[in-house]
Amino acid sequence: MTSTRPVVPAGDRRIERDSWVPTLGPGMVLGALGTIGLVVSMFMTWRSPDVHPSGIPLAFLFDSGTHASDPSILLLLIPMAILLAVGTLLPRASAARVVGSLGTLVVVVLFAVQLNDAIDALPGAHLGDLLDTGFYVAAIAGVVGLVSGLMPSGWTRRWSRTEISDGRGVDLGNPRI
């Protein structure tokens, strides 16, 4: 029994491979800053005096007169931070950064609107007087995350090509590369 292999002319055999290589791009840097900012804002006070996101009920975003206490807005902020982080770390996942930052901005805007609605009954009270640093950090993190989703993330595609030949036109079989 004999077997035959096709003879490949010299220089005609090519193996092409591609891979994703992380490089430091503007979308990746801004995405990381947005993620860090959002996570930090979860530990800061959002409203004076000393009200953290864990103390703000989720129902408050839709009804300023709510008496609910659980769950908190962290139920929305934690998934948004995860989306920002995933969009920063994975190649071609800028849509995750956009969704995470838009979700963050929706939470921030709804909180400000409902807080403004709640203080309308108090004469002389202004929204800016009640908002604290954590609110502003979350809002800035949302904007930075949104901008990062519109910029290149920094992941680049690297192509490698290998030509295999022994110079005589002899097939070298399946080499391991």
Q: What is the pLDDT of residues 110-148, one digit of tens each?
A: 999 998 888 887 788 888 888 999 999 999 999 999 999
Residue 40 lies in a domain: no
Residue 21 lies in a domain: no
Cβ–Cβ under 8 Å, residues 97 and 141 = no
CB atoms within 10 A of CB 92: 11
Separation of CA 53 from chain center: 20
pTM of the model as a whole: 0.74
Angle at 168 between CA 165 and CA 169, to 5 degrees: 65
Q: What is the pLDDT of residues 18-73, one digit of tens each?
A: 666 667 788 889 999 999 999 999 999 998 888 889 888 888 888 877 777 789 89
Quote the CA–CA distance of 166 and 155 in Å, as a whole number.
Answer: 36
Domain count across the chain: 1
Domain span including residue 97: 73-157
Residue 117 lies in a domain: yes
- Among 112, 153, 147, smallest CA distance to 25 is for 153
